[in-house]
Amino acid sequence: MRGARAGQVLEVGLGSVRVGSFGLTVAGGWPSFLNDGLDVAEGESAILAWELDADAGVGRDRAGREVRLDPFLGVLGMPPDEPGVHPTGPPRFCGGNLDCKELRPGTTLFLPIPLDGALFSAGDCHALQGDGEVSSTAIECPLDRGELTLSVRDDFELTGPVARTADAWIALGLGESLNDATIDAVDSMLRLMGRELGLERRDALALASVVVDLRITQVVNGVLGVHAVLPHGALGSGRI
């Protein structure tokens, strides 16, 4: 992206997402830390094939089960400022395979820019996903059309992904364990509350225990995700 510099913030306005006509969900087809605990044998898979109706916002599998679609892009991010080849599977502080279903159309995502030019990319369309994405896949589907608006900000600093939805502020945390991801999410939320509401860190932590929800983003990308959610109006209005 022209003009983007390391240390700035990339603002990503998430516009419409139109899914293709079909999708797949796969469970149990490869090793996962969940498989053993849930008695799902390695090498045995369940595959759900979906017909997707983007206009009606409905998906149906071959057994006739119907779900209401809520599409979003699972990958939104930039490569780290490190030499080498970087896989797209694990999410990072600069975004990537976040797989957060809250990043739906109408949301604004803020990401720290790790290197000049940003090199932002997006993809991995999901027609519908639950928090956790516990089988390793959502309804994975083609993207017929997606709309994004990119701009660069230099009026604040970020240490990781933050989003503003119609309903809440969201701080996304990442880690090798859920404990690590939780600490990362809470730390980011406390920074956000300090910036937006002028709160001291200790007060922000106490208030977060009252009004902030923690949700498991995903547990299947190697690096695990937890997001902290602060509803608008819970502690007054804020801005970025």
Supply the pLDDT for residue 239.
Answer: 59
Distance between CA atoms of residues 72 and 102, nearest Å: 8
Distance between CA atoms of residues 111 and 104, nearest Å: 16
Distance between CA atoms of residues 76 and 125, nearest Å: 10
Q: For the CA atoms of the chain, what is the radius of gyration?
A: 18
Contact 142, 156 (CB under 8 A): no
Per-residue pLDDT of the chain (240 residues; tens, 9 = 90+): 788 999 999 999 999 999 999 999 998 655 556 666 666 665 567 899 999 999 999 999 999 999 999 999 999 999 999 999 999 999 999 999 999 999 999 999 999 999 999 999 999 999 999 999 998 899 999 999 999 999 999 999 999 999 999 999 999 999 999 999 999 999 999 999 999 999 999 999 999 999 999 999 999 999 999 999 999 999 876 555
Specify the pTM. Answer: 0.93
Give every strand in the sheet of 22-27, ordered side by side: 22-27, 46-53, 58-61, 66-68
CA dihedral in degrees (67, 229, 16, 110; nearest 10)?
-150
Supply the pLDDT for residue 210.
Answer: 97
| Residue 8 DSSP symbol | S
Domain parsing of the chain, residue ranges: 15-90+117-148
